[in-house]
Amino acid sequence: MKKFMTWVRVFRNENYSDEHLPEHIAMEWYAAYWDWKQGMRFMRSMYKDVLQKTFGTLQFQLGKFNVDMSGEWESGIMLKLFASTTESTFITRQLKGCR
């Protein structure tokens, strides 16, 4: 078997709030012999396909947020992407420690 995917119910023993539900559905997948770039292409393709079939478009509103998934998706080191949008000194210290 070279690839598999599963949808599972997940429950985390955490506090409940209107913004955070401890129970949710998670999707996991694995593809043997793929590098991370192939995995990213697969994920982008899958998410866009699911969103297009669910909403009929890749531009939609989710609550009070306008979402546009039609363009290119930025990828990179998560810590650096987060640091570029915040003023966190913690993140800055962490990046200095990365080699």
pLDDT digits (tens, 9 = 90+) for 11-29: 766 666 666 666 767 777 8
On the question of pLDDT at 78 being above 80, the answer is no
Mean pLDDT across the stretch 70-82? Answer: 77
- The token duo for 21 is 């539900």
How far apart, in whole angstroms, are the C-alpha atoms of residue 47 and residue 75? Answer: 15
pLDDT of residue 52: 92
Mean pLDDT across the stretch 54-83? Answer: 83
Confidence of residue 5 (pLDDT cuts 50, 70, 90): low
Which residue reads 């080191």 in tokens?
A: 77
Which residue reads 């997948």 in tokens?
A: 29
pLDDT digits (tens, 9 = 90+) for 16-66: 666 666 676 777 788 888 888 888 888 899 889 988 998 899 998 888 989
